[in-house]
Structure formats: structure tokens, C-alpha cells
Amino acid sequence: MRTVQVTRQEAGQRLDKYLGKYLSLAPKSFFYKMLRKKNIVLNGKKAEGRERLAEGDEITLFLSDETIAGFRVEHTGKASAQRGSASGGAGLSVVFEDEDVLIVNKPAGMLSQKADRSDISLSEYIADYIMGQQQGESTFRPGICNRLDRNTTGLVAAGKNIESLQYLNRLFRERNLEKYYLCLVKGKILKRAEIDGYLRKDGSHNRVSIAAEGTEGAVRIVTAYEPLNNMVWKGQDYTLLKVHLVTGKSHQIRAHLQSIGHPIAGDTKYGEKSLYHLFKKEFGVRYQLLHAWKLCLGAPEYLPRKYHGAVWQAPLPDKFEKVLAGMGVDMQMFC
């Protein structure tokens, strides 16, 4: 027999979902059968599996230790060893943290989520960081709620428990927040504007294309922007833009700006090679100068009141600041 107590991180999910994680190698039919026979009970009573768990709930498994062990995968220790102790090496830049939410400033060069099994991504670093704060045994595995391209820097949100993960995911999915980016583009832009179009993804080449008219498989995208600073550097016009990502599709900002003749400096996929080599030579920059700068939350009814109207802002990376300062931008605007 074993009794486990539901932690704060695990509360809010259904009992059958919890059992699917706790007894991850067992077929679903097994624990449904055990529930029917009262070999698994919730707070001492028979349960069906659809019950929502609360912090402190007790789940008792009237099963042998050998049976339980045979259906479980031990995550502690093994995962950290495979990742080379991710939490110790990541050096997460935390922008905001409380008991429910973690907001970090992602550096360039780091995947948001794994592309291959051998990858170490921001998700693993965040999972190790949050799980290191947990007391006792837990089935909860933290997850991120938004993704950035490998070389795009800035804000990534994560839920520290089931409930916060659910409402943050819903917040992004239903766009009940405003997402602002900063980027440096080629050319002079003098007034704010909003552009829309249709984005089609080419999965085989990890690229997207933009069209004015919708076609099969394309999705509508909307990008708004506002010039913050114009500059001339080495005989070429540049603009520092604040971009409002109205929709949120992969590579949207990079491809949309390139489609109107304003590619992002340093972008090897959608930018100009000559521009990339210039910024690499002068500033050591090897990636697009695009930064997920600010998240401004709304006030939907499902979001806890303490987050209504919250604003989270990530400082610019050192290299981005170095580029702007070298081009004559007054950095006081970011203080």
C-alpha cells in the first residue's frame, strides 16, 4: 500500500491524469480497473477518475510496492544526469517569480523546446529550476507557455503548477495579452503602421512565406509597428522598431518585415547576407536583433486578480545594447 498527497503544483488536474503520470508505464485500463475495485481511492472514498484534485488530497494505492515500482519511471536524478545538471548550468535570468508564475529572459542560441531527443532546451532548464523548489514527491512537470526562435531573445512564461500552467496557456491562446518586441531593421520608417497578410509554413525547410492573399494552408497574420529611433550608420538608414505581435505565428515578425523591404539586422534566414556579415564584423553579432521585450496582461475572468494589468519587461541583451550605442542611439530611453 502507498498513500501520496497532492501537492500545490499538481492541484487542478483530474485524478485519472494524475494516475497516468504517477503510474506512467501502466495502461489506462489498469488504473480504471483499480478505481472500480477500490484498490485506488481518493480521500478514503471510491473515485471514478474524473474528480478534480485539490492540494492536500490523499490518493491511496492498495497495491504492492513491486507493482507500483513496475509501473513507475523515476525521474529524479536520472533527468539531471542526462542534462548535465541543467539547473546548475543554465544561469536563468529571472524577470519575475512568485509561487505560481516564472518569467525568464531567454538568451540567444537556446531552443525554447527540444527539436531532438538529445537537445537541452529552455524547457529543461526551467523544469529543473522549478522542480528543485518542490518539497517531496510530485508528478508535476513544469512547462513553458510561449516559444521564441532559437536566436530570438526575451520573455518566456512558465507555470509552476497545473493551475497556473492552464491559465497562462489560455492567456496566450486567446490573446488576452499584448506582446511587444524590439528589433533593428534596415531602412527608414517614419510612422507607425499595421500590416497584415497570410503566412504559409514550409516545414521541410523551417521557413515561412508571406502573401497578400489567402491560399490553402495559409493563416492570416497581423503585425503592428512603431519607429522609436532612426539612424544612419555607414551610409545606410536603419530604424529601431517597437513591434506589436497581434497574432503569434512562427517567424512572423522576421518574415513580415522582410516582405515589406525592412529585414531585421543579423537575420540569416530572412535578412540580407551582406547585412549579416557587416554586423558580425563590427559587433560580433551572429543572430537577428529581435527581442521579446514586454508582455502586458489583460484582465480575463479566469486569470487571478493579482495578475490583472501586470506588465513584465525584459532588459535588452548586452550585444543588442552595444549595437544600438555604437550606432548612436540614446540608451536612456530604455532606463
Q: Are residues 195 and 314 in the same domain?
A: yes
Q: Are residues 65 and 108 in the same domain?
A: no
Helices (H), the chain: 15-22, 28-36, 65-70, 78-82, 86-90, 122-131, 162-173, 252-259, 273-283, 318-326
pLDDT at residue 79 greater than cutoff 70:
no
Q: Are residues 143 and 48 in the same domain?
A: no
Mean pLDDT of the 193-215 span: 87
Q: Are residues 29 and 91 in the same domain?
A: no
Q: 282: helix, coil or strand?
A: helix
Q: Are residues 190 and 309 in the same domain?
A: yes
Q: Are residues 157 and 280 in the same domain?
A: no
End residue of a domain, out of 145, 173, 201: 173
Q: Are residues 194 and 293 in the same domain?
A: yes
pLDDT in tens, 133-179: 766 667 777 889 999 999 999 999 999 998 999 999 999 999 999 99
Record the cell numbers describing residue 19, joined without a space.
494516475
Looking at residue 121, its pLDDT comes to 86
How many structural domains does the chain have?
3
In a domain, 48, yes or no: yes
pLDDT at residue 62 greater than cutoff 70:
yes
In a domain, 75, yes or no: no
Q: Are residues 119 and 192 in the same domain?
A: no
How far, CA to CA in Å, does 4 sit from each of 41, 233, 245, 313? 11, 63, 44, 39
pLDDT in tens, 271-290: 999 999 999 999 999 899 99
pLDDT at residue 124 greater than cutoff 70:
yes
Q: Are residues 287 and 323 in the same domain?
A: yes
Q: Are residues 99 and 242 in the same domain?
A: no
pLDDT in tens, 220-271: 999 999 999 999 999 999 999 999 999 988 899 999 999 999 999 999 999 9
In a domain, 45, yes or no: yes
Query: What CATH number does the domain containing 66 carry?
Result: 3.10.290.10
pLDDT at residue 331 greater than cutoff 80:
no
User: What is the extent of the structural domain holding 225?
Assistant: 178-334
pLDDT at residue 90 greater than cutoff 50:
no
Q: Are residues 242 and 277 in the same domain?
A: yes
Query: What CATH number does the domain containing 108 carry?
Result: 3.30.2350.10
